[in-house]
């Protein structure tokens, strides 16, 4: 079971427009697109950097995962996404190693990619998203 790269880094922000004044206008990253992931209640701004990308995550309401995160901890680093060859196989592997999972099965994330989340309690405190290489349109 191998992991290939950091596919993206998710940053929870109060406002994508305000955050772009640093990430796009300051750092000079290109804003490729903004996508709404309705079932997660989040707007995602995608800014490619090298072979991965920064994702700015803006909640569409308070009662959403990112809305609750910001209410509890403030804006900031939200999750790290690692690309793997087979999300379902990785989940089975991690489960066998007693890693605490948020998603027992892969589901559809931004861009139609197959994704699953691993609980921070098992990772050193960082929410980890697994995404399957070759799925989704990004």
Site string for Zn ion, 103-132 (x = CB under 5 A): --------------------------x---
| Count of chain residues binding Zn ion (CB under 5 A) | 3
According to CB under 5 A, which one of 13, 70, 81, 91 is a site residue for Zn ion?
81
Binding region for Zn ion (CB under 5 A) out of 7-15, 35-43, 63-71, 96-104: 7-15
Q: What order do you get walking across the sheet with 33-37 strand by strand?
A: 33-37, 42-49, 52-59, 3-12, 76-84, 127-132, 114-118, 107-108
CB 46 within 8 A of CB 1: no
Residue (13 or 81) nearer to Zn ion, CB: 81
Q: Cβ of residue 11: shortest distance to Zn ion, in angstroms?
A: 10
The answer to whether residue 10 forms part of the interface with Zn ion (CB under 5 A) is yes
Footprint on this chain of Zn ion (rule: CB under 5 A): 10, 81, 129
């Amino acid at each position: 079971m191998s992991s290939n790269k950091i596919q993206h880094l998710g940053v929870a922000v109060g406002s994508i427009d305000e955050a772009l004044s640093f990430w796009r206008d300051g750092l000079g990253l290109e804003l490729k697109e903004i996508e709404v992931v309705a079932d997660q209640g989040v707007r995602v701004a995608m800014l490619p950097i090298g072979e991965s990308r920064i994702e700015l995550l803006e909640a569409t309401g308070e009662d959403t995962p990112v809305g609750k995160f910001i209410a509890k901890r403030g804006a900031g680093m939200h999750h790290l996404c690692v690309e793997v060859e087979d999300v379902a196989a990785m989940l089975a592997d991690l489960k066998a190693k007693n890693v605490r999972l948020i998603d027992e099965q892969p589901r559809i994330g931004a861009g139609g990619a197959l994704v699953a989340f691993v609980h921070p309690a098992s990772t050193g405190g960082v929410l980890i998203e697994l995404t399957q290489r070759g799925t989704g349109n990004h």
